[in-house]
Amino acid sequence: MFKINQNFTKLPASYLFSEVARRVNAYSQAHPEVEIIKMGIGDVTRPLCKAVVDALHKAVDDEAQAATFHGYGPEQGYGFLSEKIAEYDYRRHGIDMDADEIFISDGAKSDTGNIGDILSTADKVAVTDPVYPVYVDTNVMAGRAGELLADGCWSNIEYLPCNAGNGFVPSLPSGNPDVIYLCYPNNPTGTTLTRSQLKEWVDYCRLHGALLLFDAAYEAYIREDDVPHSIYEIEGAKEVAIEFRSYSKTAGFTGIRLGYTVVPKALKGLGDDGEAVALNPLWRRRQTTKFNGASYLTQRGAEALYTPEGQAQVRETVDYYLENARIIREGLAAAGYDVVGGVNSPYIWVKTPGTMTSWEFFDYLLDRYHIVGTPGSGFGPAGEGYFRLTAFNTRENTLRAVERLTGSGK
């Protein structure tokens, strides 16, 4: 009989957001009359902006004519988009970037999950805690995580707790990890790191030969000057960091899917023979073998984001969600909740009242106020006693949710 990848059996039976959805569906079926406000998974509610919709329509017309039809595209994405990314997302911000350092994909979730393909399964991993579960779960699948311990940690992963005690700022690792995941603005806490704080991480990686996997999926939400949008704003980062970006929360692409990953040409890891090996060709090899490229349509849609209209329309959408975040943050704080995040981020991280666990608070909010959030403990042991709300619902529902939670409205 063939054998399975045993690592999969070590994982909790369902992925965090699938478990939340399962519980919400069960509740809805039992209470069909109840109108539930969803502030759980970070899925957007605003439609695609006009610039993108127009570009998508035009791309469909291209596909309808033999002369402009596109079949398989380049696995790493079309030059018309990667050139725009290099120019608008990097060079215009003073960061050196070539288009062939950019790999367009169907989103940051896939890429943060797949990047381990080009790393040794012997690499030791460090994550902040709480953390986006994809980083941990995919390392469990690859066999890097070890065993699940009674405290909810995996034996081979170093956890860097982020809590009220340290202002949600992780300490540098002590266990000499080879690979470090950072997500800033942070999912789930909504907190950020300043330029000098991020510099410490880049310096650490340079000194210790560690790889920094930097998830910048929420960079469009940054409004404060001292918070870098890209890890490459930090000197020397191109030698130690891979950056992941997404159009999901920026431009509402959660449904149509698109993101990209930057693998700088200067970034090198160690081969078995002790020689330095560039990661850029490895990732290209991985993508060309396992991925056939994001769709032509979606890439044309994203290209339109780099026009003046596209930029303005996207900014308006992100500002809308940031205003929702302000309403949630200030409303809950005024009602006596301890909250962080929601300033440069669509996520608000709330301390559960009293001794309530994260899942108890989840059940309480669902049952009493018909509001869905995400239990903090689902993001790691240090998330216990916390709860994540998203600002991605409509203004109307956001106001209603805050009113239900606080009895005030704002």
How far apart, in whole angstroms, are the C-alpha atoms of residue 291 and residue 284? 10
Tokens of 193: 């790191």
The SS3 of residue 389 is strand
Query: Contact with ligand MLT (CB under 6 A): which of 20, 37, 39, 41?
Result: 41
One-letter amino acid for residue 261 of the chain: T
CB of 150 to ligand MLT, least distance (A): 26
Answer for the pair 78, 299: CB distance below 8 angstroms, yes or no.
yes
Tokens of 320: 């809308």
Q: Site map for ligand MLT, 330-359, x if CB under 6 A?
A: ------------------------------
CB nearer to ligand MLT: pick between 130 and 173? 130
CB of 188 to ligand MLT, least distance (A): 6
CB nearer to ligand MLT: pick between 41 and 180? 41
Q: Site map for ligand MLT, 83-112, x if CB under 6 A?
A: --------------------------x---
CB nearer to ligand MLT: pick between 38 and 300? 38
CB of 250 to ligand MLT, least distance (A): 12
- Backbone angle region of 407, left / alpha / beta, with phi > 0 → left and psi within -120 to 50 → alpha: left
How far apart, in whole angstroms, are the C-alpha atoms of residue 397 and residue 370? 11
Binders of ligand MLT among 51-90, rule CB under 6 A? none
CB of 386 to ligand MLT, least distance (A): 14
CB nearer to ligand MLT: pick between 264 and 383? 383
378 near ligand MLT, rule: CB under 6 A: no
CB nearer to ligand MLT: pick between 105 and 187? 187
CB nearer to ligand MLT: pick between 78 and 379? 379
CB of 106 to ligand MLT, least distance (A): 12
Instruction: Please list, residue by residue across 363-386, b when 16 or more beta carbons sit within 10 angstroms of its beta carbon and e when fewer do.
Output: eebbeeebbbbbbbbbbbebbbbb
CB nearer to ligand MLT: pick between 43 and 63? 43
* 29, burial (CB in 10 Å: exposed 0-12, middle 13-18, buried 19+): exposed
Query: Contact with ligand MLT (CB under 6 A): which of 82, 138, 187, 377?
Result: 187
Query: Contact with ligand MLT (CB under 6 A): which of 42, 130, 341, 378?
Result: 42
How far apart, in whole angstroms, are the C-alpha atoms of residue 109 and residue 215? 10
Strands 386-390 and 347-351 turn out to be antiparallel
How far apart, in whole angstroms, are the C-alpha atoms of residue 321 and residue 315? 10
Strands 347-351 and 276-278 turn out to be unpaired
38 near ligand MLT, rule: CB under 6 A: no
Binders of ligand MLT among 191-250, rule CB under 6 A? none
CB-based closest residue to ligand MLT: 42
CB nearer to ligand MLT: pick between 127 and 205? 127
Q: What angle do CA 364, 370, 372 make, to 5 degrees?
A: 75
Q: Site map for ligand MLT, 105-144, x if CB under 6 A?
A: ----x----------------------x------------
How far apart, in whole angstroms, are the C-alpha atoms of residue 231 and residue 6? 35
How far apart, in whole angstroms, are the C-alpha atoms of residue 208 and residue 31? 55
Q: How many residues contact ligand MLT, by CB under 6 A?
A: 5
φ and ψ at residue 148, rounded to 5 degrees? -80, 125
186 near ligand MLT, rule: CB under 6 A: no
φ and ψ at residue 107, rounded to 5 degrees? 145, 165
Contact residues for ligand MLT (CB under 6 A)? 41-42, 109, 132, 187
